């Protein structure tokens, strides 16, 4: 009966996803937000209707879904896009990451007086949710420079996030009373390993893609690439988001008919994304919110301010209008589930802070997943209008 209950639950969620999508379009609310709320209502936080076996599938569904997103985002970084928008994407992404770390670290320290906790939360603040952000951009049908920059930023965000987190983890270790080189070396190893793996999968795929007819063979090819990237990255303990992004980037630059695999993935990604967002809402522990406290509130508040300031500063460096820079920061509010993975690593290195760091990260991730897509949609809408 367990298998039957899981299949029934998935069928109901897929059908509910159609209704959620239709309602979101009429109410002008991002479907990501509605799906997270659906998970909260249907999951343990409220009604607890989802079978426990469904939660266990999240260990496979989430990495595959996020690798699909990363693969598609890498495909967005075409040579023409990089030549036209590369400077803007680089300036905005690096500045938003740096300002996020600075503002969150200083702000949390002023509130809590705990330098180690402040450094750890500063390292977590840079993570942006590529899945939610891309889905909002795609659902809105947004095009043009602003949308291109947003997708480019979230494509490279994972790499900057790993570097920043490694540096902050090392700094926290030094403040706690030791010389910490290991976290930096580990972060650099992850970057190098994910890049190498993305190249190892992407280069042969770039040569092979387009040599078979469109349709089912290309779909199988695209799925094979995604599953291979996900499985190998997890086997070697490498970040699958970065692996998928590098693989997509390589294919879009070197394949003769690079657009086919990307179009095939776009056709089938939604069921995976639906389960990802529903399970994110279902995983919310109400007890975590009760322990959120002053430090958690400070983290959310300062991160929100930092994104807007970072977008404005990065836009200024890229010589964009100030209004567009601020809207860029607003569009980057969703926080990635990868931040939870980083929080687990931080908790292992600093056991005394494991509970507050993980609790703040989980609760803030859900908060930013509910409100962040709404702000992203608003930013896209405002960016499409001529300034008054």
- pTM for this model (two decimals): 0.85
CA atoms within 13 A on the CB side of 371: 10
CA proximity to 367, closest of 276, 240, 281: 281
Residues 327, 132, 193, 198, CA torsion sign: negative
Spatial contact of 312 and 325, defined as CB atoms under 8 Å apart: yes
State the Cα–Cα distance between residues 382 and 250, nearest whole angstrom: 33
Q: Are 311 and 96 in contact (CB under 8 A)?
A: yes
Quote the pLDDT of residue 388: 42
Query: Of 158, 127, 129, 157, which Cα lies nearest the Cα of 32?
Result: 129
Predicted local distance difference test score (pLDDT) of residue 340: 79
Residue 215 has a pLDDT of: 53
CA distance 43 to 277: 12
DSSP class of 256: T
Q: What is the mean pLDDT of each run of 10 residues along the chain (388 residues)?
A: 81 90 85 87 84 79 87 85 87 93 94 91 89 88 87 87 86 77 81 93 83 64 90 91 90 73 80 86 70 83 94 91 91 83 82 84 85 92 70
Please tell me the distance from the alpha carbon of residue 187 to that of residue 303, in angstroms, as a whole number.
23
**Residue 34 CB contacts under 8 Å (≥ 6 apart), including other chains:** 20, 23, 24
């Amino acid at each position: 009966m367990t298998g039957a209950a899981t299949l029934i639950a998935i069928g109901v969620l897929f059908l509910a996803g159609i209704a959620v999508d239709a309602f979101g379009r009429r109410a002008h609310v991002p479907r990501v937000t509605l799906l997270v709320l659906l998970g909260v209502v249907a999951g343990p936080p409220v009604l607890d209707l989802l079978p426990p076996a469904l939660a266990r599938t999240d260990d496979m569904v989430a990495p595959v879904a996020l690798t699909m997103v990363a693969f598609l985002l890498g495909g967005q970084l075409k040579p023409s896009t990089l030549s036209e928008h590369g400077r803007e994407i680089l300036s905005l992404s690096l500045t938003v990451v740096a300002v996020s770390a600075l503002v969150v670290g200083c702000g949390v320290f002023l509130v809590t007086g705990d330098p180690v906790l402040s450094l750890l939360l500063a390292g977590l603040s840079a993570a942006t949710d590529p899945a939610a952000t891309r889905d909002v951009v795609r659902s809105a049908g947004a095009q043009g420079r602003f949308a291109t920059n947003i997708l480019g930023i979230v494509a490279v965000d994972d790499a900057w996030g790993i570097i920043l987190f490694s540096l902050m983890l090392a700094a926290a270790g030094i403040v706690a009373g030791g010389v910490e080189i290991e976290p930096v070396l580990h972060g650099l190893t992850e970057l190098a390993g994910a890049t190498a793996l993305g190249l190892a999968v992407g280069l042969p795929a770039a040569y092979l893609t387009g040599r078979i007819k469109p349709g089912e063979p290309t779909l199988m090819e695209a799925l094979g690439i995604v599953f291979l990237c996900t499985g190998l990255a997890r086997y070697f303990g490498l970040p699958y988001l970065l692996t998928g992004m590098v693989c997509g980037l390589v294919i879009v630059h070197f394949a003769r008919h690079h657009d086919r695999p990307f179009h095939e993935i776009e056709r089938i990604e939604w069921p995976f994304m639906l389960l990802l967002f529903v399970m994110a809402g279902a995983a919310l522990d109400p007890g975590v919110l009760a322990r959120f406290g002053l430090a958690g509130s400070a983290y959310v508040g300062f991160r929100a301010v930092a994104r807007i300031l970072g977008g404005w500063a990065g836009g200024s460096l890229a010589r964009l209008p100030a209004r567009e820079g601020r809207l860029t920061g607003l569009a980057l509010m969703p926080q990635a589930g990868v931040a939870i993975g980083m929080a687990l690593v931080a908790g292992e290195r600093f056991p005394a802070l494991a509970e507050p760091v993980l609790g703040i990260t989980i609760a803030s991730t859900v908060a930013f997943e509910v409100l962040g897509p709404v702000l992203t949609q608003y930013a896209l809408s405002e960016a499409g209008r001529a300034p008054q």
